Each structure stands twice: as structure tokens, then as C-alpha cells.
Amino acid sequence: MAVMTYREAVCKALADEMRADENVIFFGEDVAEAGGVFKVTPGLFEEFGPNRVRDTPISEQAIIGAALGSAITGLRPVAELMFADFVPVAMDQIVNQIAKYRYMSGGQFKAPLTIRAAQGMAFGFGTQHSQTAESWLMSIPGIKVVSPGTPTDAYGLLRGAIREDNPVIVLEHKGLYNLSEEVPDDTGPMALGQAQVRRSGKDVTVVAIQLMLHRTLEAAELLATEGIDVEVIDPRSMAPLDEETILQSIAKTNRLVVVEEAPHGAGWGGDIVSLAADKGIFWLEAPVKRVNMGGSLIPYSPPLEDAAIPNVARIAQTIREVMAA
């Protein structure tokens, strides 16, 4: 069992899949000799060479278009978008081409491609480089979306994504790249669409991903000293969403809080609330609460950035309010 950072886990997953399948290729801006803007991919260019690890022009449309073209001609490309904020630049390729290609061909063609992108608040990158993209992407039929929150999941979910015969977008949180943990030696490609109970509890269910997952776990430990037992669910995969695990938790705790590093409007937390209202309404004994950014953009100023994103104190206070209802 090796101790590995989130950053190292992503690189190892790419390397292991490239060793396992010569059809796996990798390209993006500055990913080759430079090892990526976040230094996530060092060593890949040296091991696999310029035919399989390539730098691209600064053009998200070109990167994603090349991913589709290479996928439908027999390769398994992994394309990197430097920031998830740049996904909208390539939305036509993603929404109207990649997501629909297999469907429009009547299943005659498949598009086994993976798009990696760094997202989330960290390091004061400002409002154009700090957003999260789950809510933009998970409403697109034909696309799978995963959001790993630990090094183990960063490794296993990326390997699982690369082996998928359908397009998968892997959203990596740049604020977690330095997070480390022991990754079991037998960790392999993970199936997509399986949530994980990160902390068992009996009083209230909290659903959170990535950075908000870790802040929620911290809030749960704080609340345990007050006699509140919090169950924390990490969906890991946003599309497909593991509804069963979430509903089983709601049935046990009878309360629900959702924590999002995203604006309130049309956020993915609304899908969780809708699920609870549709299939778990008779279990609920208190109003459902969402903790998120409201209508805020992400400021450049570090103190304002910290204020915009849900913190441990705000998460804990919302859980107390649900428990008191």
C-alpha cells in the first residue's frame, strides 16, 4: 500500500492504462515535456514518446474535436482541458457531436474518449478559472461525469473512465492535488455510477463531493462532539448517479443536506433534492437544505474567495438547523 497524492494518482492511472493498451493516447496544452500546468503528468512524455503524448495548440475546440476523431477511428484518447472553466468553449463539440455520435450512428460507432479537466476553488485563480462544471455537464445525455474526491478514487475512476466505450468527463479538483492517502495496491479500474458512504451516521444525511466532501467530514467530526451523528455520502459519479445509496441513507436518517461548491441556480444539488422529494418524501422529517454559493461569482481576493465557498462552520450550522427543525 503506497502513500500517493491525488496528483500522483492521476498520473499513475494514465501511465498504467497506457501500458495496458497501446491505443490509449494523451494530449492537451503543455502536458508533454512540461508535465502539465499543475505538474500532474510528468514522465509520461519520456516513457511513451511524442506519438502517444502530445502538446496541442491553445484551442479547446481543436483538442476536443481531435479526441472525437481519434476515438471513432480506433484509439482511446485522453484529452486534457487545462481548466474546467474552458469547457464552454468546446460545448458544441461535447453536446452536439461527442454525446450524440454513438446514438446517431445507431450504435455502429462508439466514442471511447475521456476528457480530464481541473476545476474548483484554489490558489486565487479568479472567477474565470475557479468554477465547477458538474451542473453544466450532467444534464447531457450520452456523457458520463465523474468527480473523484480522494487519491484512491482519482486513480480508480480515471482508469475506469478510460476503459469505458462511452465518453466520460473526469473533473479533478485542483484544490485536492496535494491531498495524500494510502492507496491499496489492488486498486484497479472502478465502475462508474457507484456512490460511497464516507462516514456512517444515524441522524442526518449529507451529500457532498470533492473539496466540500472533506469540509463536510470535518464538520461531521465537530458535530459528533455535540451528539449529532452525520452520515456523509460521496456520489463520486454525477452521471450516472447512484440514487439507491442516497435513498437508503435518507430512509435511515430521515434528514438531508446537500453541500455544493457551486451557485444555487440549476445546481446539481437540486437533482438530489428532487430525488428526495420524488422517491423519499415520506421518510423526511425536516426540510431539506442546500449549502452552496447562492448567486455569487468566485472572487479573486483570497478572503472573499473563502467567504464565497461553503466552509466548515456554515456546513455545521446548516446541519444543526435541520436537526432542530
* Active-site amino acid positions: 129
Instruction: Check if the beta carbon of residue 44 is closer than 8 Å to that of residue 18.
Output: yes
Q: Which of 18, 27, 26, 14 is nearest to 55 (CA)?
A: 27
Q: Which of 311, 13, 252, 176 is nearest to 232 (CA)?
A: 252
d(CA 210, CA 36): 21
Q: Where are the alpha helices (DSSP H) in 145-300?
A: 151-163, 210-224, 243-253, 268-279
d(CA 57, CA 55): 7
DSSP state at residue 81: E
d(CA 61, CA 12): 27
Contacts of 276 (CB under 8 A, 6+ apart): 246, 247, 250, 256, 284, 288
